Chain A
């Protein structure tokens, strides 16, 4: 089946942009989450934003981004505070406290949706889980030359603009607070003794995670992009700065390749329909991570097995 350039620019390019732009902030923040042993906070928050979005809609009655975003952020803050409170009061491990909080809040979101809200707004739990990378269209560009026309850019889908803004903001904040993020991740006690409020940095990081989780499409893509690119990069380098760059590279690669495998490959091999892109992006992210875990030059399973064999004198 032939894919025309105009189709590509209208359907596929915006979807690829959504997939990659959503992944970039997740990968950057995920790098810190993985190092802080908080990888599952991303998981928890990506579920928790659902009741927040629904509540934001119910209170404001509109599907504008702002009230829903406010709801999502409020829900995230509540969730994090609850997790911390339960962990301390119940003297529980973080995982258990998280398991309680995010499931209950997600369940609340699901019930609220099913009880009528869902019929009035184009929102459902599956959408929140999968997201729909494919549903973004860019009406306008017909060929490469038309991309030079400013009017075409004015027609850029709103969601892409917002995703790009969030990605840029995340990059800027990580650069600006690189030093603080690094020291509070590595040695929070030292940070406190130096007068750097570790709790403020944590709160800022969690808020950014919540924003990224809200803006990106579908919790599965979010969780995968929080963890897989960061974990892949973690296998490959011992430098934080390099790890951040690599994680972004893998997020972008996953976004593009995932979309290609979901949208084009099935058609090339003769199937009638394409597959879901968000799931495929997560799967590609997982494949990258698997390859890194196996074949990373220094820390990969293969390299370590070989070097261990080398140590034993023949």
Chain B
């Protein structure tokens, strides 16, 4: 079993399996790349509306091909063109509702998603009643099935993904400006509307080629999860796109391999679960924004804050609260009886001086103090240059006398 899995992963399990694996990996990378920009443009769930809005197009594409006598209706290019067409209509509908009615964007997304999908299911139920329609296999567009992909289909998927990836690389700088500051981009003379359309066209392309593999219900996951997971690791767009691409590619690769290994394992579901697992790991352990790192930072801050407050109380001759006293005792600043030790008194004096200097700094240099990340949280000597601290001390003495 494991050996077989390895042979699939290392592309030694036959030509077809390998081609599928490479195609789906490329799909994962491409979706993640365009998904990164879509996410940063705060349009994560528009992809969901687009995904669902492709269904009537699939139905209409089938009926067109059926009427033309092409492959009994199952002509993938025509199906995908149909999907792209109604998907585009879906995006336009969301934008129209948002811009021209009082309904907010989330309601617009929900409307398009459910109504287009509803129309799609009606068309599908009509197709099922056609002679031969029951075997049309259009249901695979709902949940996806990579095991049943034909080579021709994989070539379309692979080629489409490469187009998405290349265009994302080519327009990286332009998309970056657009995501960060649309007004600035306009002022700089970038063709913002055209760039926006290009971005949506790439989104549409990624969704359309992903339909057959992941299915339209879950395609949004391939666009959203990898960039969201990548966000936890970095604050840099280049790094984020790169990591998202790796996560997306890995999800496609592992998911397709697993579904090739285990019969009846739906590829779409496994791909999404793999992406979800990568996300969960990122959420928890990423050093930048992960849960553990965040909790440690928060705890440290609270602890330091309680210690500082306790020492200030000691310096003022007040009683620290029980929590503060506990921390001070742990640090050896208080003895068993709750009386400050010599070290405690010294620390209290140091904290009092530090706070006084920080307040002086805030008072005399308010802008600099407000901008200072470590204001009042770190001993002032560690942050500010010595001559400035000396000057502050001088001013403090002057004000005190």
Direct contact of A and B (CB under 8 A): yes
Q: Which residues of A contact B (CB under 8 A)?
A: 34, 37-40, 42-43, 47, 86, 89-93, 95-100, 103-104, 106-108, 110-111, 114-115, 125-126, 129-130, 220-221, 223-224, 226-228, 230-231, 234-235, 262, 271-273, 275-276, 278-283, 285-286, 289, 293, 299, 301
Residues of B within 8 A of A235 (CB): 101-103
Contact of A103 with B220 at beta-carbon distance under 8 Å, contacts A38-B106, A110-B268, A111-B266 already known: yes
Distance between B60 CB and nearest chain A CB, rounded to angstroms: 14
The answer on a CB contact under 8 Å between B118 and A281 is yes
Residues of A within 8 A of B47 (CB): 99
Residues of B within 8 A of A224 (CB): 114-115, 118
The answer on a CB contact under 8 Å between A40 and B231 is no
Point out the residue from A43, A100, A273 that lies within 8 Å of B279, measured CB to CB. A100
Contact of A39 with B110 at beta-carbon distance under 8 Å, contacts A95-B45, A104-B276 already known: yes
CA distance A172 to B18 in the complex (A): 58
Residues of A within 8 A of B109 (CB): 39-40
The answer on a CB contact under 8 Å between A103 and B228 is no
The answer on a CB contact under 8 Å between B117 and A289 is no
By beta carbon, the residue of chain B nearest A284 is B118
Residues of B within 8 A of A39 (CB): 104, 106-107, 109-110
The answer on a CB contact under 8 Å between B103 and A231 is yes
The answer on a CB contact under 8 Å between A275 and B273 is no
CA distance A47 to B217 in the complex (A): 9
From A97, A99, A272, name the one whose CB has the most chain B CB atoms within 10 angstroms: A99
Residues of B within 8 A of A114 (CB): 264-266, 269
Contact of A289 with B289 at beta-carbon distance under 8 Å, contacts A107-B269, A234-B103, A235-B103 already known: no
Q: Is B143 an interface residue (CB 8 A)?
A: yes
The answer on a CB contact under 8 Å between B272 and A286 is no
Point out the residue from A95, A220, A283 that lies within 8 Å of B106, measured CB to CB. A95
Residues of A within 8 A of B225 (CB): 99-100, 103-104
Point out the residue from B45, B119, B139, B273 that lies within 8 Å of A279, measured CB to CB. B119
Q: Is B95 an interface residue (CB 8 A)?
A: no
The answer on a CB contact under 8 Å between A96 and B122 is no
The answer on a CB contact under 8 Å between A95 and B44 is yes
* Residues of chain B at interface, number, CB under 8 A: 59
6 additional contacts, CB 8 Å, given A89-B283, A126-B143? A40-B109, A89-B294, A92-B231, A125-B143, A235-B102, A285-B118
Interface of B is mostly: helix
The answer on a CB contact under 8 Å between B44 and A93 is yes
Contact of A91 with B107 at beta-carbon distance under 8 Å, contacts A104-B279, A110-B269 already known: no
Distance between A251 CB and nearest chain B CB, rounded to angstroms: 13
Distance between B66 CB and nearest chain A CB, rounded to angstroms: 16
Point out the residue from B48, B101, B126, B268 that lies within 8 Å of A293, measured CB to CB. B101
Residues of B within 8 A of A100 (CB): 221, 224-225, 228, 276, 279
Q: Is B188 an interface residue (CB 8 A)?
A: no
Distance between B122 CB and nearest chain A CB, rounded to angstroms: 4
CA distance A278 to B125 in the complex (A): 11
Distance between B387 CB and nearest chain A CB, rounded to angstroms: 38
Q: Is B198 an interface residue (CB 8 A)?
A: no
The answer on a CB contact under 8 Å between B114 and A40 is no
Distance between A66 CB and nearest chain B CB, rounded to angstroms: 27
Provide a sorted-by-A list of 26 A–B residue pairs whose CB atoms are within 8 angstroms. Answer: A40-B109, A89-B291, A90-B231, A92-B231, A93-B44, A97-B228, A99-B221, A100-B228, A103-B221, A104-B275, A107-B221, A107-B272, A108-B273, A110-B266, A111-B270, A115-B265, A126-B139, A129-B217, A220-B114, A224-B118, A231-B103, A273-B125, A276-B122, A282-B121, A283-B118, A286-B118
CA distance A110 to B266 in the complex (A): 8
CA distance A115 to B275 in the complex (A): 19
